[in-house]
Amino acid sequence: MGLTVLVCASVVLPALLSLASNAATADQRWPGPLDKLRRDSWQSVTVLLLLSVAVVAVTTWQQGRPSAGRDDPPPPQAAVVQGWFVARSETLDAVAAVCRAGHTVGITTSLWGAGGFGKTTLATAVCAHKRVRRRFRSRIYFVTIGRDVRGRAAIAAKIAEVTRYITGDTTEFDDPELAGAHLGRLLNQRPRILLVLDDVWEDEQLSPFLHGGRRCVRLVTTRNPNLLPPGAQSIKVDEMSPDQARAVLAWELPSLPAEIIDPLLEITGRWVLLLHLTNRLIAEQVATGAAPAAAARSILQQLRVLGPAAVDEPAGAWELGDPQRRSQAVQASIEAAITLLPPDGAVRFAELAVFAEDEAIPLNLVALLWRDTGGLTEGQTRALCRAMERLSLLMLKAHDGGRIRLHDVIRDYLRGRLGDARLTVLHGRLVGAIAATLPVAAPLASTAPDPQWAWWRLQEGYLLDHLIEHLLAARRTTRAEAVTGDLRWVETRLAQRGPTAPWSDLARIDTPGARAAALTLAQAAHLLSPTEPPRALIGTLYSRLKPHPHWDDQVTAREQDASQHPLLTNRWVPPDHPASVVQRTFSGYSRAVWLLSALPNGARVATGGYDGSVRIWDAASRTRTATLTGHTRQLRSVAATPDGARLATVGDDRTVRIWDPRSGTCLAVLTGHVRAVCSVIITPDAARLATAGRDGSVRIWDVGSATCTAVLTRYMGPLQLIAIAPDGSWVATASEDCSVQFWDLTSGSQLASLPRRAEHITAAAVAPDGAWLATASADCSVQVWDLVSKTCRATLRGHTERVTAVAVTPDGAWLATVGLDCTVRIWDIARHHTVALVRTEGPLHSCSWGADGRSLAVLGRYGVYLFGLLL
């Protein structure tokens, strides 16, 4: 709005000023071209006003455009259309359809379940079209779904992958609909996007992607037209026209006589897949010196012998709608092609059916399999794959060490040719060949499953993603359960693909143990987003898994591994954990508690909240040992003496109370503040209290006599105490004007101040030696101040919402911060970075270290968390 006003002021006001000037100086000539404004004043004003309206409209439109997406990952490179592709009328239909925003477009076939008609190739051509790239400003994302993405876990993982791919957002859900709704909300905030969902098989795969995304157009390719949502524009792609088919068949070939071309068009049914296979067969023979017409005639004869015409009908009469005839046609083309392969090439080609559908398969993995089954070297493997690629039996890309991809129609044919028994053996041999490259590994604990090999050492993404699938296909269910149930595998998959990956691995295995373990990961998935530094995520993983019997011993073993330290570990079951639902009454309040102090010996915790009471808890047994009542309104602050013998509390009832926490007796009630008391601090010698209130004063109290010894009234606005000197000589206060002031406790005079921040201070802690002060700001950052020079040493960033509490260990080495972003962070003060992190279910309000500096009590929405810091 401010920019709009500025535009109005800069365009409209000069126009009006020119009119006024004209009236005042009508009898004078204006200098240069400006005299035109004098002579045609009304026309000039009209033009200027129209221009101002246009500028304002454009500015308003620009302001209304989505602002999100500027930090998204860069869009992918433009799609590359294969050279043999022939533009069809359906191409322009699809381009026009996707350029009309606000709907779903489907590229499908009128034949249910039929593949190989060029749907994916057509979608690629649409993505590469100049009009489409201009319309979406290159924000075009191509995602392959595939037949194997089935079940809640796999679909949720695919949606999370797409969310990261487009937006960089790493939030994950175990429910596909929730994951889809989250993606839709993110797409709502972004400019136009074309999302291509290729090879969709089931409604459960498509429906989560249809949420939200007001400016997102979905282009769906599917063999099942019934999957498309109501209102979607369907573009059917079946057999090509004779001219189009002729262009594909003759691509890069010398001229062929019509008496050969026409029968080839008939025998292939003008099916794109067969046309291109046939083209490559002829080209391969021509490349060896064969006459083009003779090579084409030979291949035509082979297709007649092996193809649909060999069944019971003349060439050209067979129907594409008959799955059996389509399979017969594929068989004919493939068998004609594999006759051109080296000896045993057909056997090796069939073995490629063992790999996952719609995946780029690493050539080194193919070499591993073929070395085991056929004794081929890696060089021989690459040469054989290159020969298959020339015959269009597979696609070969040179990136990432070389990768191949099979068309799913060809893969289906090969799997049918091999049969289930042979496929099971092949999966076993592949898994065995992979295992031979890994070191032997023992279980993490005596109660843990035995993985036999260190599968988590695998580096190849394909293997990590599909190892469990191959183990199950080899009927090694026990081994698959042992791998997925090993905490080291979970850690690897978590780092590689996020929380849905280890969960979906377990969800594939239909055993009671795997189902129970999968549930524990699903319940924690929303807390296992990537962190900075990345290894700090392990603390949250251990925190969520340790209460479960399946993971307990493994987590304990990993916690004892020094390579994982520093690490926060649970001292008891977290109060928000499903395993501790019955213990959530630990907080003891009908309304949320929000104050906490760990008493110095670390054995007791004091909590206070909205009902005005303070409760003392035994940290080991989680039982309440005392309840302190007396405050009539909400508590604001609680502090303990260094020996834990006394407790001071303040609140909205304007009183300061001193307690014996063991007996629950109120020893003194201090009055003097005329408005709510915001905070209280006890001096290290336990002789004095300092309190600050909304009346703008800081009061110093003598604990022994329960009298006020000094009042600091420099401020007129509300105050809060944020820190006290280790020797008790000064206190630091923060006010609503975002300033921090230091006061002498003896004289009451102001000592110094810190440079004023743009945001108000939310929490603070002083170093045990008094050398530095850490303050948290409303901008989610934490500043470390040098108290000698009053300059900022460092700014600590990592929290994404307001930091609510800061606490420093007794040795000054570590700083703990908690916040509304539901995270506990431990910072290395010397290096100024996060070394440990744990996520919780709800916002966190306060934190306090025990005297040993290794016990950290944290208060959150669901109760008290107690962590240990392993160094």
Instruction: Chunk the chain into consecutive blocks of 10 residues (it has 871) and report each block's average pLDDT, rounded to whole numbers.
Output: 46 50 53 62 64 61 55 81 75 82 67 57 86 88 84 85 88 84 89 88 88 87 82 78 83 86 81 82 85 86 65 44 62 81 90 90 95 94 92 87 88 89 96 95 91 94 94 95 95 89 90 90 85 87 91 92 88 75 42 55 71 78 81 86 84 90 87 88 86 86 87 71 84 82 83 82 89 90 91 91 91 92 92 90 85 84 84 74
Q: Supply the pLDDT for residue 318.
A: 46
Q: What is the CATH number for 219?
A: 3.40.50.300
Question: Do 270 and 153 share a structural domain?
Answer: no
Q: Supply the pLDDT for residue 361.
A: 93
Q: Supply the pLDDT for residue 465.
A: 92
- DSSP notation for 721-735: EEEE-TTSSEEEEEE
Q: Are 221 and 120 in contact (CB under 8 A)?
A: yes
| Residue 158, in any domain of the structure | yes
What is the H or E stretch that residue 763 is in? strand 761-766
Q: Are 760 and 775 in contact (CB under 8 A)?
A: no
Q: Which of 241, 213, 209 is nearest to 144 (CA)?
A: 209
Question: Do 807 and 689 share a structural domain?
Answer: yes
| Residue 860, in any domain of the structure | yes
Question: Do 226 and 289 share a structural domain?
Answer: no
CA distance 785 to 775: 8
Q: Which of 637, 587, 635, 576 is nearest to 615 (CA)?
A: 587
Q: Are 193 and 138 in contact (CB under 8 A)?
A: no
Angle 323-338/258-268 helices, nearest 10 degrees?
130
Q: Which of 799, 800, 793, 830 is nearest to 815 (CA)?
A: 830
Q: Are 601 and 620 in contact (CB under 8 A)?
A: no
Question: Do 250 and 196 share a structural domain?
Answer: no
| Residue 136, in any domain of the structure | yes
Domain residues for 296? 240-339
Domain boundary among 236, 261, 295: 236
Domain boundary among 304, 339, 374: 339
Q: Are 80 and 129 in contact (CB under 8 A)?
A: no
| Residue 60, in any domain of the structure | yes
CA distance 544 to 142: 35
C-alpha separations of 687 from 602, 628, 684, 745, 841 in Å: 22, 22, 8, 12, 39
Question: Do 603 and 693 share a structural domain?
Answer: yes
β-strands 677-682, 665-670 pairing? unpaired
CA distance 479 to 463: 15
| Residue 382, in any domain of the structure | no
Question: Do 587 and 542 share a structural domain?
Answer: no
| Residue 77, in any domain of the structure | no
Question: Do 140 and 11 share a structural domain?
Answer: no
| Residue 74, in any domain of the structure | no
Question: Do 98 and 60 share a structural domain?
Answer: no
Q: Are 218 and 107 in contact (CB under 8 A)?
A: no
Q: Which of 675, 756, 743 is nearest to 712 (CA)?
A: 743
Split into its structural domains, the chain has a count of 5
Question: Do 555 and 433 share a structural domain?
Answer: yes
User: What residues contact 414, with CB distance under 8 A and at least 6 apart?
Assistant: 349, 350, 352, 353, 406
Question: Do 536 and 508 share a structural domain?
Answer: yes
3-state secondary structure (DSSP) of residue 218: strand
Q: What is the CATH number for 783?
A: 2.130.10.10
| Residue 572, in any domain of the structure | no
Domain boundary among 236, 271, 293: 236
Question: Do 545 and 584 share a structural domain?
Answer: no
What is the H or E stretch that residue 226 is in? none
Q: Are 477 and 509 in contact (CB under 8 A)?
A: yes
Q: Supply the pLDDT for residue 66.
A: 55
Residue 199 in tokens: 């090879």
β-strands 193-200, 216-222 pairing? parallel
Q: Which of 812, 814, 813, 818 is nearest to 846 (CA)?
A: 818
Q: What is the CATH number for 493?
A: 1.25.40
Question: Do 800 and 785 share a structural domain?
Answer: yes
